[in-house]
Amino acid sequence: MAIASVLKMADQMVLILPITIISAVLLLRTGENARIKGDAAIAMISVGALAFGYLLMNIFSTSSNLTGDVCSTLFGSTSILTLTLEEVVICVVLSIIVVVVFVFLYNKIFAVTFDENFASATGTNTKRYNLLIAVMIAVIIVLAMNLVGSLLISALVIFPALSAMSIFKSFLKVTVCAAILSVVCAFTGIIISILAGTPVGSTIVAADVVAFAICYLAGKIVGGRA
């Protein structure tokens, strides 16, 4: 996003999407390294990218709106109305593609995410499906980045899943519940943002936090998960 901002690209997603996918693949491959695992690989790539992005914005500050670009990159758009028609169309198309791929390959994705060793033993190409999952997550991150920014994107991805897991234990139920919660919280956050004049990203994440608190308490009260 920093590169696209410096280059003054009208449609930043054209550059952001492939770079994010490449970063996701690189993160996946780095995580497979015996010396660099999980959180260390994530921290290394994310912090490094953030540092280089901010450095580029400072070096070329005369050709970019430094304050506005940094805030937009980190915390997303201040208003849903700032999204262009092209961005909305791209978001809708890519969202449909992600949902279709997930539905058609649900069994394989479930097998790889639930027990990778078992999936590999049954003949599933786990590396191929791990790569597919990484690409899908990268696309989701790009779609949400304009709204919530790079700092809050993890909350947008994690909270609905945690909320669903507080109530259900079935993979399918958790997936469906998380998807419904994501849509409900997103629309709730957008509506509140428009009415109250608050930043879209922060408001959506706040709605996710409230939903998580409600689901967590509901899971404790009901006792046991469905």
pLDDT at 119: 81
User: Are residues 77 and 146 in contact, defined by beta-carbon separation less than 8 angstroms?
Assistant: yes
Q: What is the value of pTM for the model shown?
A: 0.70
Of 89, 203, 207, the closest CA to residue 148 belongs to: 203
CA torsion, points 140, 169, 105, 26, in degrees to nearest 10?
Answer: 50
Return d(Cα 79, Cα 193) in angstroms, integer: 8
Which tops the pLDDT comparison, 214 or 52? 214
Lowest mean pLDDT among 10-19, 60-69, 86-95: 60-69
pLDDT at 2: 55
Average pLDDT along the chain: 76
Of 139, 143, 134, 154, the closest CA to residue 31 belongs to: 134
**Distance of alpha carbon 102 from the chain centroid:** 15
Token pair of 36 as six digits: 């660099």
Which tops the pLDDT comparison, 153 or 191? 191
User: Are residues 204 and 198 in contact, defined by beta-carbon separation less than 8 angstroms?
Assistant: no
Please state, as a whole number, how many other Cβ atoms lie within 10 Å of the Cβ of residue 102. 15
Return d(Cα 45, Cα 24) in angstroms, integer: 10
pLDDT in tens, 22-75: 877 777 776 666 566 666 666 677 677 777 777 776 776 655 555 555 566 666
Q: Parse the chain into domains and list their residue ranges.
A: 1-75
pLDDT in tens, 102-139: 888 888 888 888 887 888 888 888 888 888 888 888 88
**Distance of alpha carbon 122 from the chain centroid:** 30
pLDDT at 102: 86
> What does the pLDDT average to over 185-201?
84
pLDDT band at 200 (very low <50, low <70, confident <90, very high): confident
Greatest mean pLDDT among 12-16, 26-30, 182-186: 182-186
Q: Show the DSSP H helices in 166-199 as ranges.
A: 171-196
DSSP states of 200-218 as a string? HHHHHHHHHHHHHHHHHHH
pLDDT at 126: 83
